[in-house]
Structure 1
Amino acid sequence: MMKQIFILAMMLFATSGTAIAQDVALKTNLLGWATTSLNVGVEVGIAEKQTAQLFATINPWKFSRDRKVRFWNVEPEYRWWTCQRFGGSFFGLHALAGEYNIKNVDLPFGILPKTKRGRHYEGWYIGAGVTYGYQWLMSRHWNMEASLGVGYAYSPYKLYGRCARCLDKNHRNYVGPTKAALSMIYIF
């Protein structure tokens, strides 16, 4: 499903107009890689001080001691730049959606209630937030970006115990950090 969404977004960006220098950027979040999460993003200039970004992340791994934080996430974002696009400060509005399967890991910020060993959560989420970030020009084609977003997410979930027995169905209304990025960017 995520592959189809990404391909569709790429086709929309590709057909939205003629790409000229400083109009398209390919990026990856180094903080995501530090947590073993595969990620890639595409950002496209849509006006003199505006860009649109689509970012996708997936973490399919299991870890030692029966721990896992499996998830996928897509995050479209609109950005308004204070000076010029792809350089300096920007403010953004982002949406987020995804699914997760988390076992024997306590997440920060009270994202999910803590569980006893051997139990796990499965669920999905959808939300939105605001972003502030800054992009440093390193060379003609390379930039570095730092950004932080806060917002709201709604997440229905199921809590499973041993033997895959559903123990609880509930939901969370989360307010807090919704994104953090330190990204390497290649601008075409």
Structure 2
Amino acid sequence: MKYKILAGFLSLLSIGNLYAQETEKNLEPIQENGKSLYVKGNALLLPVGILNAGLEYQLGKKYTLQGDVFISPWKSFAGHEFQYYSISLEGRYYFDEAFKHWYLGANLSAASFVLQKWNYWGNGTYTNDRNEKFKKSNLYQKGLSVIVGVTAGYQFQLSENWNLDVYATVGTSQDYYKGYDRTTGKRYDIAREYNKSGEVLPYRGGIMISYKIK
């Protein structure tokens, strides 16, 4: 009788050991596929007083989703208006695996701005449809933008928790704005509401320092 009890006990131990091994095997893929989360900031822009920070979350082995904000509070930067506030959402595909090496991304951004466009930096003259003349360097624009673009970048793994993300984005910007003369405060354009313009331009880029928080 005691031998039967011992045999039964050993059988239970054996079954328990096999179950533990099988459970461990089943958990391995879950642990390996754990979703990572990085917080990041643009080291290239911070020294000039511009904040660009975000979060990048892993969706799958090669896919991530990033959300970030861009805040430039400058009423005057190198003699030009440059208040620019934007939010971006970007899906990324990594050719190797998430957070490592080359990737491509699809970006959607929305922005509010008070700035002087680059083609108004010169000392030329602007003439509107009413034949009114303005000094270009005195003009600036205030409005909203919706931008769709493509991002290319490369992430360097510095350590277990630290990455360096180098990237640039080019896209098409649809702008809705009003134009003003800095000296008088009056509008130089003749539109009743907003002017509308579209252009292709680089609008994001830099060096993001990323830290893994999950």
Fold shared per TM-score above 0.5 = yes
Q: Which residue matches 1:46? A: 59
Q: Which residue matches 1:15? A: none
Q: Which runs of 5+ in 1 are unaligned?
A: 1-19
Tell me which of 133, 136, 151 is aligned to 1:131.
Answer: 151
Tell me which of 202, 207, 210 is aligned to 1:177.
Answer: 202
The structure in which a higher percent of residues are helix is 2
Q: Which residue matches 2:98? A: 85
Distance verdict in 2 for CA 1:166–1:50, change over 3 Å: same
Cα RMSD (Å): 2.2
- 1:90-143 Cα offsets, whole Å, 9 max, x none, are 11000111011114xx52xx5x78662332210110011111110000011111
Q: Which runs of 5+ in 2 are unaligned?
A: 1-32, 123-134
Percentage of identical aligned residues? 24
Contact 1:152 1:178 in 2 (8 A): no
SS at match of 2:178: strand
Contact 1:22 1:86 in 2 (8 A): no
Distance verdict in 2 for CA 1:93–1:65, change over 3 Å: closer
Q: Which residue matches 1:140? A: 160
Q: CA deviation at 1:66?
A: 5.6
- Whichever of the two has the greater Rg, that structure is 2
TM-score (norm: length of structure 1): 0.78
Amino acid of the residue matched to residue 49 of structure 2?
T
Alignment of 1:154-165 (within 5 A): 154-161=174-181, 162-165=183-186
The structure in which a higher percent of residues are strand is 1
Taking the aligned partners of 2:78 and 2:200, their CA distance within structure 1 comes to 30
